[in-house]
Amino acid sequence: MKSNYKRLGDYIVPVKVRNSELKAKELLGININKYFMSSVANIVGTDLSNYKLVQKNQFACNRMHVGRDYRIPVAVSETEESFMVSPAYDVFEVMDNKVLLPEYLMMWFERAEFDRNAWFYTDADVRGGLAWQAFEDMQLPIPHIDKQREIVKEYNTIQNRISLNQQLIQKLEETAQAIYKQWFVEFEFPDENRKPYKSNGGEMVWNEELQKEIPLGWKLKSLRNIVAIVDNRGKTPPCVEYKTEYPLIEIGAISGDNRVIDIDKCEKYVEEEIYNKWFRSGHPRKKDILFSTVGSLAEMKLYWEQSGVIAQNIVAFRASDKMALYLYQCLKNNKNDLVAYEIGSVQASIKVSQVIEFDILYPSELVTSYFDNLISTLTNLSNAVYKENQKLTEMKGLLLSKLATIEN
């Protein structure tokens, strides 16, 4: 063990302040990704005076399921307001901030190597608990406080950039949604004079099925008459776990906030020979809308990559090039109606044969072409920012890995 490695328990102290005066109103839990989140526990009628308080720069951790989850949920409070956590959690703080920075300690907790080490020390319980003594006995390098500040500053620079990018992605998504609503709900899309259609006298006609007026020339069409269904005939091709050019796109890759498929979330891959032989109907292409039919129902993302194979619980809706982005936004805005097609079974699922009967407002090709040009720009920018965040996250991981080699 290097000389600057120190026992964690010599630098932290437990904090056992209860919410006895009921001053704290917010109850938080700890996400597996190591940040505080709103608790989903039902606390109606619960005596909250026994819950533990967490103040700024104090940590909370849950040592009960480390062996099961292969991670130890631990987070540090960065807020001025105190809040509650479960009485089963441990709350602790750094003894001396002039010797060990809470931010630096949290960086150490975020390392994958820390979780692996914690898992090694878990007990024989089914859930694999980690004893407090074992937690305190874990060791970490503690360089000079100036070096810690330097490392934390570098880390925060990366993290702040990631946060700003996440805000930008969210803003781009909100912009796309706002444009969709303005054009296809309020019917204020640009007319031939580039003025808002409805408020500038654009002709509207009554639609009996929708029980409202819609622009002249627009109509309702079932999804069946708009898209081609792309799937892999209910099968998943033979896969490998090492990375190839052909990722297998499963439900995990179509979750999250970004509108574009997250290829980096793919954990399985297909070799080139299998890819070339596999059903070509299972090869998605740019602007396909990938849609989950089992588990997390009606999750959907745009496919923006060059190669890949979809898993058996995902189908792709393929519309004409200029219709695809409008259709994606339309389906996303009607997700609750699509989920209503769920059928009762052991695992939640949707029949595609029913989903494709869903009626879509079918605008003029000119309007969807305008929309496609505009939203493609936003989507390309969002995807570029998302990829930058992936690189920044890799940099953050490298910085965390290097903590183990830091000398005084």
Strand-pair category, 248-249 with 309-310: parallel
Q: Which of 14-18, 161-165, 204-208, 291-295 has the lowest mean pLDDT?
A: 291-295
Q: How far apart are CA 400 and CA 159, in angstroms?
A: 12
Please provide residue 140's backbone torsions phi and psi, each rounded to the nearest 5 degrees.
-150, 155
- Mean pLDDT is highest, among 3-12, 125-134, 196-205, for 196-205
The residue to which tokens 């006609």 are assigned: 205
Q: What is the CA angle 232-358-177, rounded to 5?
A: 95
Residues 6+ apart with CB under 8 A from 241: 267, 268, 269
Domains 5-142 and 219-362 share a fold: yes
CATH assignment of 154-216+363-408, among 1.10.10, 1.10.287, 1.10.3470, 3.30.2170: 1.10.287
Residue 9 confidence (pLDDT): 95
Q: How far apart are CA 107 and CA 104, in angstroms?
A: 5
The alpha carbon dihedral of 5, 9, 13, 15 has a sign of positive
Domain ranges of the chain: 5-142, 154-216+363-408, 219-362
**Over residues 339-354, mean pLDDT:** 76
Binned at pLDDT 50, 70 and 90, residue 1 comes out as very low
227: tokens are 């898209």
Per residue in 170-202, pLDDT (tens digit) is 999 999 999 999 999 999 999 988 899 999 999
We find that the CATH architecture of domain 219-362 is: Alpha-Beta Complex (3.90)
274: tokens are 């299998």
- Among 59, 242, 47, smallest CA distance to 136 is for 59
Residue 154 has pLDDT above 60, yes or no: yes
Binned at pLDDT 50, 70 and 90, residue 281 comes out as low
pLDDT > 70 fraction of the chain, expressed in percent and rounded: 94
Q: At what angle are helices 365-402 and 112-120 packed, to 10 degrees?
A: 60
Count the Cβ atoms, other than its own, within 10 Å of residue 244: 16
Topology at the third CATH level for domain 5-142: Adenine-n6-DNA-methyltransferase TaqI; Chain A, domain 2 (3.90.220)
Per residue in 48-70, pLDDT (tens digit) is 899 999 999 999 999 887 877 78
Per residue in 305-338, pLDDT (tens digit) is 767 888 888 888 999 989 999 999 999 988 888 8
Count the Cβ atoms, other than its own, within 10 Å of residue 346: 5
